[in-house]
Amino acid sequence: MLQIQQDLLAALRDELEKLSPGAGEKAAFESPKVAAHGDFAVTAAMQLAKPLRLNPRAVGEQLRAALLAQPAFERWVEAIEIAGPGFINIRLKPEAKQQVVHEVLGAGERFGVQPGNGQRLMVEFVSANPTGPLHVGHGRQAALGDAICNLYQTQGWDVHREFYYNDAGVQINTLATSTQLRAQGVKPGDANWPEAAYNGDYIQDIANDFLAKKTVKADDREFTASGDANDLDGIRQFAVAYLRHEQDLDLQAFAVRFDHYYLESSLYTSGRVEAAVNRLIANGKTYEQDGALWLRTTDYGDDKDRVMRKSDGSYTYFVPDVAYHIAKWERGFSKVINIQGTDHHGTIARVRAGLQAADVGIPAGYPDYVLHTMVRVVRGGQEVKISKRAGSYVTLRDLIEWTSKDAVRFFLLSRKPDTEYTFDVDLAVQQNNDNPVYYVQYAHARICSVLAGWGGDVATLAGANLSALDTPAAQALMRQIARYPEMLTAAARDFAPHDVTFYLRELAASYHSYYDAERILVDDEAVKRARLALVAATRQVLHNGLAVLGVSAPQKM
């Protein structure tokens, strides 16, 4: 089916070029809004009507006649119809649609995967400072980042996952002093407990392990406690390692991994921040005013210039971001995607302005951003409040323990990132069709049951005669399967893993409808093998799509 589509598209391109030089570049197939209208739609006749000074339907008729004479159209197209003001609807022969089953069974897990393009992509996500366990908002970011990485890997990109955090800022100092006070016996509510301190019970856990002289090991650091409650620097290092370890446990439970951890402090110790600032000054993009150093961000579309270095000599928070992204570019990442909360919206223009002002060859619009809203959690009909400072927020691990890794991933990916989302814990554990992840996984398990009932070797189905797959139910299912590669490409382009969840639900619905319409294990051997091949291909695509989301494809439920 994919090769057939490419052959037909090439023929369309040739004929458009003959009609109007340069028009071949615009050759494209669209999906008809109504499936009964055909398999592909072409709008080129309406686009060419004005420059050719012809009626759109006349252009459509001329193009229709030319296409019908093309060998690829003669072989694979059943009919071409002109509709409305000049729409061209193309209806494929059944054998053309059936080819997708052979393609899926032949490619297996590689179905929909594009060859390597030689380009490197970095996705930076989660990037939570180690001041507490990961909350549900971090979970949404983890699900988004990991799924976007998987999407781009299907499109041939060399993908690198990075976690960026600050181990030496104001929040870390607050963490250290909060832990030290707990180690000294001071607790929230006491007269000398600071208002800004962290109140969660996890602070006491850190203090207890520090006093016990324990060793903590995270993916990117390890530290052994001295046990001395007056050792503030040791407490700081221990607390950071402790909470990084806790974050690792959260991420392991969520099946998310990172290739590298990058410390904000290293941007200062390596001289990268100073080098970036000096470059901006040398390029004439800064000025001094009121004792501060300003960047002319208005030259790059910002609504006002921004302070880089405050009057006290400290840098504002976007300055290390500029240095960090220069480092990303220098490390060879031609494309960078940052997954962040919507509260980072104001940073985008400043960082991009700084990168353009640095004039190091970085293209405009670098990096890309995906901003997400926070998540409300409802359990037993009541909202579970999130309050990090109070220590009563829902952690990612809580949500996984209440439901499952699969449910959390699928649910958090089922809406556009910038839309509000309410996670219904009770729905996530239901085993019925109202639960979307259950609905999709059940379709996969149902197919596994059919194939197990047959008992044959699925590999032999790749050579099955598919001519029996000519019914409306079979063709509808094949049409859904054939959409998968293009859906992946569009979802990657638009940073839209929610499109994968929508597609999987539609594919599952198509399978359930097919299962209800046609018995698969019939007596006729040829028909049985054709139908088994179709459902085996459906199972493979369900498996592939769930893998993109990081969700399992169970064989039994």
Q: What is the DSSP string of 7-38?
A: HHHHHHHHHHHHHSTTGGGG---B--SSGGG-
Mark which of 42, 73, 92 sits at the end of a domain. Answer: 92
- The structural domain count of the chain equals 4
pLDDT of residue 200: 86
Question: Does the pLDDT value for residue 169 go beyond 90?
Answer: no
**Tokens read off for 89:** 């609807």
Torsion over CA: 429, 433, 436, 439 (sign): positive
CATH of the domain at 27: 3.30.1360.70
pLDDT bucket at 389, cuts 50 / 70 / 90: very low
Question: Does the pLDDT value for residue 440 go beyond 90?
Answer: yes
Residues 518 and 501 in one domain: yes
CATH of the domain at 544: 1.10.730.10
pLDDT bucket at 214, cuts 50 / 70 / 90: very high
Residues 82 and 176 in one domain: no
Residues 385 and 443 in one domain: no
Is 442 part of any domain?
A: yes
Residues 386 and 456 in one domain: no
Question: Does the pLDDT value for residue 387 go beyond 70?
Answer: no
pLDDT of residue 392: 64
Residues 537 and 480 in one domain: yes
Q: Classify 22 as helix, strand or coil.
A: coil
Is 73 part of any domain?
A: yes
What's CA 194's distance to the chain center, in Å?
40
Least confident of 28-42, 130-144, 266-280, 435-449: 28-42
Strand partners of residue 395: 135
Q: What is the mean pLDDT of residues 164-190?
A: 95
Task: For 43-66, write each residue's pLDDT tens digit.
Answer: 998 889 888 888 999 999 999 999
Residues 398 and 507 in one domain: no
Q: What is the mean pLDDT of residues 199-209?
A: 93
pLDDT bucket at 390, cuts 50 / 70 / 90: very low
Q: Which domain holds residue 67?
A: 2-92
Is 387 part of any domain?
A: yes
Residues 63 and 85 in one domain: yes
Residues 415 and 494 in one domain: no
Q: What is the mean pLDDT of residues 368-375?
A: 95
Mark which of 210, 238, 266 sits at the end of a domain. Answer: 238
Question: Does the pLDDT value for residue 325 go beyond 50?
Answer: yes
Is the pTM higher than 0.85? The answer reads yes
CA dihedral 339, 343, 344, 346 (to 10 degrees): 150
Question: Does the pLDDT value for residue 385 go beyond 80?
Answer: no
Is 464 part of any domain?
A: yes
Residues 530 and 497 in one domain: yes
> Under a CB-based contact definition with an 8 Å cutoff, are residues 138 and 144 in contact?
no
Mark which of 35, 58, 92 sits at the end of a domain. Answer: 92
Residues 463 and 415 in one domain: no
Query: In the chain, what is the greatest distance between 2 CA atoms, to the nearest angstrom?
Result: 89
Question: Does the pLDDT value for residue 346 go beyond 50?
Answer: yes
Residue for token pair 């004792």: 291
Q: What is the mean pLDDT of residues 425-439?
A: 97
Task: For 82-104, write each residue's pLDDT tens digit.
Answer: 988 888 999 999 999 999 999 99
Percent of residues, the chain, with pLDDT higher than 70? 99
Is 292 part of any domain?
A: no
Residues 436 and 485 in one domain: yes
Q: Which residues contact 243 (CB under 8 A, 6 or more apart)?
A: 130, 131, 132, 133, 175, 202, 206
Is 291 part of any domain?
A: no
Task: For 457-490, write each residue's pLDDT tens digit.
Answer: 999 999 999 999 999 999 999 999 999 999 999 9
Quickly count: other Cβ atoms within 10 Å of residue 201's Cβ. 10
Task: For 502-550, write each residue's pLDDT tens digit.
Answer: 999 999 999 999 999 999 999 999 999 999 999 999 999 999 999 999 9
pLDDT of residue 388: 47
Is 276 part of any domain?
A: no
pLDDT bucket at 386, cuts 50 / 70 / 90: low
Residues 424 and 442 in one domain: no
Is 474 part of any domain?
A: yes
The residue type of 108 is: G
Quickly count: other Cβ atoms within 10 Å of residue 69's Cβ. 10
> Under a CB-based contact definition with an 8 Å cutoff, are residues 244 and 220 in contact?
yes
